[in-house]
Amino acid sequence: MGSFCICIITYYPTEAVIDRIKNVLSSWPLLIYDNTPNGSEELLKIEGLQDCNLGDGFNHGVGVALQRLMRQAETTGIEQLLYFDQDTFFSSDSLQWIEEWMQIHTKDLQKYTILNFVGNSPQRDIKSACVEGKPLLINSGSLFNVGAALKFGGHNEKYFLECVDYEFCLRVAQQGGVMGAVKGCPDLDHFIEQPLKSIDILGREYQFRFYPIPRTMSFIVTLLKLATISLILGPRKYGYIFLRNSLTHFVSQGRSLILNSLKMAWR
């Protein structure tokens, strides 16, 4: 299977995140990049974490953090890097399932630049959990083939990353890389710890997440730029995907803006 390591990027980590990190550190190799300005005091208290925390007290963003984690993995001979956002819930069962799947499919690991593990219910039998090809994958829950990812340049430090690194996925596809998803991982959930707001309208609860307008506009402009690049240079299907996603994000954030305004007005 080759050597692998779990990595997490933190930013003002909560108690739940700290507990997850302690759990991982007790049983698995771990790399942390702390984006908390001046460093998280709670992380500094964890015994044994100092040597694997690459943060320098500044918030450099996810792109920089992932690139530095990837370079550190390469330097120390780590072949596979399993990344989680700090607000992705996972358990020891999740990690054991992924590790066992990797052992079963050792020969296939080198085929993929990125493999994303997906939770579902009811859980699939691990032996029948096969890889499904995907044009885009979220970062969290993804296993990065370090050598292949860096061959394609790794994550671009100049891009502000949302949950999907659209620019990196496009670059991987343009240069012949392969991406896939594996369903069936237990206890893996990207939503239950999201900082969602809610509002009750006529007895019905609506949940939403409202991003600052400059962040939304920057994200849409970036997607439109990538859509133009992919429509010119290919693969063209990415251009259509990026255009669609920019529209759905605009609509989603428009809805969130309205709900957030109502929530503020009804306080």
Contact 58, 79 (CB under 8 A): no
As given in the structure block, the two tokens for residue 267 are 């306080």
Q: Give the phi and the psi of residue 30 in degrees, each rounded to 5.
A: -140, 140
As given in the structure block, the two tokens for residue 44 are 């500094």
**How many Å apart are CA 180 and CA 191, to the nearest integer?**
21
Supply the pLDDT for residue 202. 75
- Unique residue bearing structure tokens 């609860």: 205
* pLDDT tens track for 34-91: 999 999 999 989 988 888 899 999 999 888 999 999 999 999 999 999 999 999 999 9
Q: What are the residue ranges in the chain where pLDDT is below 50?
A: none
233 contact partners, CB below 8 Å, separation of at least 6: 174
∠ at Cα 263 (258, 264), nearest 5°?
100
Helices (H), the chain: 15-27, 41-44, 62-75, 92-104, 106-109, 146-151, 166-174, 213-233, 236-265
Residue 29 DSSP symbol: -
As given in the structure block, the two tokens for residue 51 are 């040597």
The number of beta carbons lying within 10 Å of the beta carbon of residue 185 is 24
What's the one-letter identity of residue 27?
S
Contact 86, 13 (CB under 8 A): yes
